[in-house]
Amino acid sequence: MSLNNPDFAVYELPEEHQTIREAVRAVCDGKVAPHAAEVDEKSVFPQEAYDALRASDFHAPHIPTEYGGAGADALATAIVIEEVARACASSSLIPAVNKLGTMPLLLAGSDELKQKYLPPVARGDAMFSYCLSEPEAGSDAASMKTRAVRDGDFWVLNGAKRWITNAGVSEYYTVFAVTDPEKRSKGISAFVVEKGDEGVSFGAPEHKLGIKGSPTREVYFDNVRIPADRIIGVEGEGFKTAMRTLDHTRVTIAAQALGIAQGALDYAAGYVKERKQFGKPIAEFQGVQFMLADMAMKLEAARQITYAAAGKSERGDADLTFFGAAAKCYASDAAMEITTDAVQLLGGYGYTKDYPLERMMRDAKITQIYEGTNQVQRVVMARQVLARS
């Protein structure tokens, strides 16, 4: 079944994608899930997961084969992220953020930039992060203050980026900076900055509610001088590239939310069959069954819209902006509801760290916030609806 079929993901997964799911799940069950609680407890980068994903070519599956990657399509990449998130949400940010950081190159980068920076990521020798948000420019990203000034054959960057996932661990960074302050969003350009460039530094790790194994830090640029050919695409089109990137990568956040929710549902369903009250398993009580039914229904609805959005991402459909926002918004809202209900099904046990559900609930929350809050997603969707009508 081809990805050119618009209904490929809505009714049945192609066999090759089912095979990918089975392969990723085997890796994650054996080498990712056993470390998830410790990664969360100690707030440490999930190195064991990275090593396992790298060995299996699941750390950056989206990179095309011509750059040494696995060449996975958008649906296969979403399934990889979903399955890793089922085991450990922090670890799922390895393939997710590698895609986020490299997507601007894939969309707008020169052949030279792609040939230089994509193969190391494909090999697992480097990771790639995405630097858009700033202390005073979150949802209003066009208000960024980071500047890039041309100086002969170089650009000189000054400023700060906030909430950067995997900062300090990644070797490469896609950085958006103002090159013409008079033009607002049309005066923003994108660049590749290396961790080792003189003038690049990092803030202290943020102390977060969830995804504790994925470092989140500020990135500072103090007269960072980079070659002029590290600009991504055309000067002044960086903001456009940033928004196009998010159209594609919001699908990956939806996939992450699916995985977290699936992990929570799986655990809760197993627990209620074993837990007995009033002389029988609590799974036999209708109130519990209704909760499980609602959780499963929301999860499957979220999965269908996410997979449909992945198909649109692969084809570059005109309505990807709507579907990417809808998938991210719906799946993350569903994940928050499902993980909260899963905690409820375990009662007091669900509220303790002896069980994984409180971690999953905490991890789910960020999916409603990053890559555009769900309030912003609703604005995006509404604009698309109004434009169509």
Are 210 and 144 contained in the same domain? yes
375 inside domain = yes
User: In this prediction, what percent of the chain has a pLDDT beyond 90?
Assistant: 96
Per-residue pLDDT of 5-25, as tens digits, reads 444 445 688 999 999 999 999
Rounded average pLDDT over 60-74: 98
Residue 325: CATH number of its domain = 1.20.140.10
Are 379 and 265 contained in the same domain? yes
What sections of the chain are H helices per DSSP?
8-11, 15-31, 33-42, 47-56, 74-87, 89-108, 111-123, 238-274, 286-315, 320-345, 357-366, 374-388
Quote the domain boundaries for residue 36: 8-123
Direct distance between the N- and C-terminal alpha carbons of the chain, in angstroms, rounded to an integer = 33
Query: Residue 389 has what pLDDT?
Result: 81
Kindly report the pTM of this predicted structure. 0.95
Give the span between the Cα atoms of 132 and 144, in whole angstroms.
Answer: 8
Are 213 and 275 contained in the same domain? no
Query: Residue 292 has what pLDDT?
Result: 98
Q: Looking at the predicted structure, is the pLDDT value of residue 162 above 90?
A: yes
Rounded average pLDDT over 79-90: 98
Positions annotated as catalytic residues are: 371
Query: Residue 145 has what pLDDT?
Result: 97
Residue 84: CATH number of its domain = 1.10.540.10
249 inside domain = yes
Give the residue from 59, 89, 123 where a domain finishes: 123
Structural tokens at position 20:
């990918």
Are 118 and 132 contained in the same domain? no
User: In this prediction, what percent of the chain has a pLDDT beyond 70?
Assistant: 97
2 inside domain = no
Residue 142: CATH number of its domain = 2.40.110.10
Rounded average pLDDT over 164-168: 98
Query: Residue 15 has what pLDDT?
Result: 93
Are 300 and 188 contained in the same domain? no
1 inside domain = no
Are 138 and 48 contained in the same domain? no
Q: What is the mean pLDDT of the chain?
A: 96
Give the residue from 123, 151, 183 where a domain finishes: 123
Give the residue from 186, 212, 236 where a domain finishes: 236
| 111 — pLDDT class (breaks 50, 70, 90) | very high
Domain count for the chain: 3
